[in-house]
Chains A and B, each alone.
Chain A
Amino acid sequence: MSLIRGSRDRAVSGDAAAGEAVVVERGGRPARYTAIGGVVLVAVLAYLPYVLVTGVTQTMVVFYYLAAMALMWNLLAGYAGLVSVGQQAYVGLGAYAVLQLSNWGVQPFLGIWLAGLVCAAIALPTSFAAFRLRADYFAVGTWAIAEVYHLLTIQDNSLGGGSGSALTTLSGITPTLRDALTYWSALGVAVCCALGCFLLLRGRTGLALTAIRDDETAAGSSGVRVGPAKRTVYLAAAAGCGAAGGLVIVSQLNVAPDSAYSVQWSAYMIFMVLLGGIGTLEGPIIGAALFTIVQQYFSADGAWYLIGLGATCVPAAIWLPRGLWGLVEHHTPLRIFPLGRRVRAR
């Protein structure tokens, strides 16, 4: 009937018109600013060991590895929907990997990166056990898995057993150089984590994750390979936390199982991501910065700052579910990491 034919004609010409009138883009000008700004920022940060006091750069090392951990936890929970209370498994495994590798003669600063790979390798078989848990029980299940690695590590006396061990292979280097190398390694790991997350989420995996996050069953029946997508994220998060664990041992120069595998790491990750903003890339970084500052200024007061954090966590979970960056995103068009697509009229 004439009505239908007419609309088809309109659609055909409409397409051509649409092609001229509207443009769908990834980032456009703001993304270019971010990229340039990012490179400048990293360059500035890399220069800092030459100008700042050791105390400050050491604090920044803490910020870098906390940011890496926060980004990884956010990748798992905010994008893949896998709420883990067991990432400390990989922090501990990463730290001990660096220790073991240095016992075998590998330079610890290289060991940090290898530790990431080792953790990803261990995460692969682990994921088959972990993914058999229902979503709600995944959290505590990952914790149990972390405890298994914790207890197994204690069994190994060559790594110091229950009382831990010191990283001695760095004692030959002068402290200033060692601190600078630690700083650059930490900056490198943090930048890699941020970039890695960004590239992963911009690519097909990111699209798959968004689909899974919205409706897992529908995504699966649309052809999204749910299992591999989640597994990729799990492995990436393990690698990131492993490298962060390597940074912990290199910056502290010793490691003990109870602290390396402590569930406190998960507590920190959850705080940082929750307060900063879950499901965004800017949020974990902001949360890590805030947490580092709070930790530096208040840890002298003992458990009080943790009480305060716990007390903040509760209302934040209910009333500020998108975190601080979520507030910014809601009220402003500001986006630092261009992950969405925008439609712009020419």
Chain B
Amino acid sequence: MIWVDAILQGVLAGGLYALFACGLSLMFGVMRIVNLAHGDFAVLAAFLAYSLISTTGVNLLWAAVLTVPVFAVFGYLVQRGLLNRAMNGGALPPLLATFGLSVLIQNSLLQGYTADSRALSPGRIGTASLQISSQISLSYLELLILGLAVLVLGGLEFYLSRGRTGRMLRAASDDPQAAGLVGGDPRHLYGIATALAFGTLALAGLLFAARSSVSPSSGPSELLFGFEAVVIGGLGSLWGTLLGGIALGVAQNVAGQANPAYTLLAGHLLFLLVLILRPEGLLPRRRLA
């Protein structure tokens, strides 16, 4: 029974990984950019929300309602102001620029907030749980997170496959010049992709801080997990990212049940195993949606 519990906990944890990862998947799918500062931006969102909550006293929901759109706009500006220019230089400059941003954000947070970790209070939902059996109880917060992940990923998938702009995003990812010929401005379209990515990573960051806690140096490990979820699930598929996140969560939790020291190792080993045996991932598709 404890193994069933471990698997279920893993599935719930996977929801958060998937939410983290979908922004990575989006930015890579549309623009071939690996945002090395992805995790750090999520942590930044969490810390800014923390400051917002502690100064104004609003609850987590309102903080999220404010932070997520602000980060989406921020993402648009970062893409248009910085990353579009970096992309002109090939594949290396965006990687190095985002790496610089990662270091910048981590150390700025360190200076501003000290190295202590912070948590965001989710209110009553944080402690309540659904009792399934005597040994298995599922936290409402984690169920909510999984639900949100499914909603967000599903929504993005729908947007990309049916929406007018979503279609242009896929077109721009195939051939930015040809997209221009049909009237789509690649710079603006890339901005939208990053805005969506930043919106989701802000949400993921806040939820992560609500579920456990964040410190200024949490970013890189979140980036790693997000990235592993994308690869395990399959590059270019958002549903694959969800599956990958869940697979990662389950692997970590099941291994952790056997020996807590194996938790992280199991995740990394699963990632490497997928790399070696099935590099295209579990649900591979060539492009997004």
Contacts and interface: CB of A to CB of B under 8 A. Distances in A.
Interface of A: 77, 83, 85, 128-129, 132-137, 139-141, 143-145, 147-148, 151-152, 154-155, 263, 267, 270, 274, 278, 302-304, 306-307, 309-314, 316-318, 321
Nearest to B259: A155
Nearest to B32: A136
Contact of A313 (B94, B100, B111): B100
Interface in B72-104: 82, 85-86, 89, 91-97, 99-104
Given A132-B279, A143-B224, A318 B93 contact: yes
Given A302-B111, A303-B107, A314 B97 contact: yes
B104 A144 contact: no
A139 B95 contact: yes
B268 A148 contact: yes
B103 A310 contact: yes
Contacts of A303: 107-108, 110-111
14 contacts: A85-B99, A128-B276, A132-B276, A140-B224, A143-B220, A144-B224, A144-B228, A270-B99, A278-B92, A306-B107, A310-B104, A313-B104, A318-B93, A321-B92
A270 B92 CA distance: 11
Closest 8 CB pairs of A and B: A313-B100, A310-B104, A310-B103, A317-B96, A303-B107, A317-B97, A314-B100, A306-B107
A144 B227 contact: yes
A287 B269 CA distance: 35
A309 B104 CA distance: 8
B251 interface: no
Contacts of A270: 96, 99
B65 interface: no
Contacts of A77: 92
B231 interface: yes
Interface of A is mostly: helix
Nearest to A149: B268
A307 B265 contact: no
A318 B85 contact: yes
Contacts, number: 121
Contact of B103 (A128, A278, A313): A313
A274 B224 CA distance: 23
B275 interface: yes
Interface residues of B, number: 44
A155 B34 contact: no
Interface of B: 28, 32, 34, 36, 82, 85-86, 89, 91-97, 99-108, 110-111, 220, 223-224, 227-228, 231, 235, 261, 264-265, 268-269, 271-272, 275-276, 279
Contacts of A137: 34, 227, 231, 235
A267 B28 CA distance: 22
Contact of A133 (B94, B104, B279): B279
Contact of A314 (B92, B101, B268, B269): B101
Nearest to B269: A148
A314 B83 CA distance: 10
B103 A129 contact: no
Given A313-B96, A314-B82, A307 B264 contact: no
A66 to B, nearest CB: 16
A313 B108 CA distance: 15
B81 to A, nearest CB: 10
A235 B64 CA distance: 47
B91 A135 contact: yes
A313 B261 contact: no
A312 B108 CA distance: 14
B97 A151 contact: no
B103 A309 contact: yes
Nearest to A278: B92
Contacts of A133: 275, 279
A167 to B, nearest CB: 25
A307 B36 contact: no
A140 B25 CA distance: 13
B104 A317 contact: no
Of A128, A306, A314, A316, the most chain B CB neighbours within 10 A belong to: A314
A147 B96 contact: no
Of A133, A141, A309, the most chain B CB neighbours within 10 A belong to: A141
Contact of A310 (B86, B89, B107): B107
A317 B32 CA distance: 17
Nearest to B83: A318
